[in-house]
Amino acid sequence: MSYRYKVASIFLLGFFVDCINIFMSAVALPSLSITLHVSSASVAWVANAYILGLTLIIPVSTWLAGRFGSRGILTASMLLFTASVWLCGQADSFHELVGWRFLQGIGGGLLIPVGQALMFNLFQGEQRAKMSTLVMAVALIAPAISPTVGGIIVDSSSWRWVFYSNIPFSLMAAGLSWFWIREAKSASLPRPDIKGLLLVSAALASLLLGMSLYGADYPAAAALSGVATGLIFVALYLLHYRRCSHAIIELNLLKSKKLSDSIYVYYAIPGVFTGVNLMAVFFLQNTLQFSARLTGTFMIVYAAGAFIAMTISGRVYNRVGARRLFTLGMLLHSAGIATLMLVEAPGDRWIIVIAYSLMGIGGGIGANTAQTTSLMDFAGGDTHKASVIWNLNRQMSFSLGAALFLMIFNVLLKYLDITAAYHATFALAALIGLLPLLRMRPLNPAKESP
């Protein structure tokens, strides 16, 4: 195997670990909520803490790789991930679990941007598009397998084994990183922007906290103050960015239409889907009394539709163009979410299958197109910087999507019965998933990009 394919294998394995960690743990949240005696709004912090860890470390991951070497950083990241996963399974309290999830996010956040930048700098032009398709294939295989496996684990054993099951994969990624990655350190490196990093992390933490509190059993003032504080930190970062020559997030790269439009679409499709799927998990298990195993199997339907769509969209990308594929993906994805509004009883399984099929097809088209398009304007060092933005966006979209729709559901639950509240949440999600259509701009086809 050539060196560049070894690098690609390590990144894809690490990406797989990251994906199964997100989707396998989601199916366990209802059981975890009951065991640890926390509300559905609070249990979302099992995911939020992981995202905050990622947010803290992703922006400095490139600097750490340059300072200490890619091989050492990639190996250390997966060893830290392994240790924290074990500690998550050992947690005896909710707050303890949240703390270890934060540490787990730090471990996962080191591998993804460093591995992706290494891989994309070894594959250029149309080969980069092919590697993007492989990345999305992993992003589909993991959600297809992990919820079903996670459901079986929860039904037959304990939510703790949902975390333990990550360990073989993370240890494999650590070993391959140590033996396969060629060591390379930069001769001179600018100091990392710690102030900017703290501002970004504080902004995300405050926004997530505000959305988690709003609609739950907390005063509205506390929730609004959290959101307001988050917006203040965003404004402070914008001021800091203008004065800093090496800002932690290089916002100037967002002038790339390919990157910025891909980010909007990623929030509208994978981001919205993460929130919708989380709500569907609680709806199917707690309201319709489906088992965790049965709930997880619907993701196989999603992945099958997404795989077919991804394969076709990857082949026609250069001829059709990103804008048309983005539009089609969002329309189909939102149609699938809207179909969930028709689910009323346990016997409506075929409606759920249709809904997840449409979401899978739309999601496969939109997410694959976004992954392919996002970094096409960049090369060399800019690829690392753009990779940081892209991976922060990818992870934040998952967490913000979950927090947003949990907040919406909790607010609606005060005025509607539980089934109607779920249906209204799905309706709003379908509309939110179409918002990028209002600002979609023409994008040059991939073959015109460097």
Cα(320)–Cα(323) distance, rounded to whole angstroms? 8
Q: What are phi and psi of 440, to 5 degrees?
A: -65, 130
Q: Dihedral of CA 227/233/238/241: which sign?
A: negative
Least Cα distance to 56 among 228, 202, 170 occurs for: 202
User: Tokens 């769509």 — which residue?
Assistant: 309
Cα(339)–Cα(354) distance, rounded to whole angstroms? 8
The pLDDT value given to residue 339: 98
Q: Choose the weakest-confidence range: 121-125, 176-180, 423-427.
A: 121-125
- Cβ proximity of 358 and 293 under 8 Å: no
The pLDDT value given to residue 449: 38
User: Tokens 């790339």 — which residue?
Assistant: 256
The answer on pLDDT for 218 being more than 80 is no
The pLDDT value given to residue 341: 97
Q: Which residue has the higher pLDDT, 299 or 63?
A: 299
Q: Write down the domain spans for the chain.
A: 3-181+248-448, 193-247
Looking at the domain that runs over 3-181+248-448, which CATH code has it been given? 1.20.1250.20
pLDDT tens column, 118-176: 887 788 766 776 777 787 778 777 777 787 888 888 888 888 898 998 899 999 999 99
The answer on pLDDT for 441 being more than 70 is no
User: Tokens 């983005």 — which residue?
Assistant: 326
* Mean pLDDT in residue range 71-81: 91
> pTM, whole model, 2 decimals?
0.76
The answer on pLDDT for 269 being more than 90 is yes
Rg (CA), the chain: 21
The pLDDT value given to residue 215: 57
The pLDDT value given to residue 257: 86
158: left (phi over 0), alpha (psi -120 to 50) or beta: beta
Cα(405)–Cα(296) distance, rounded to whole angstroms? 20
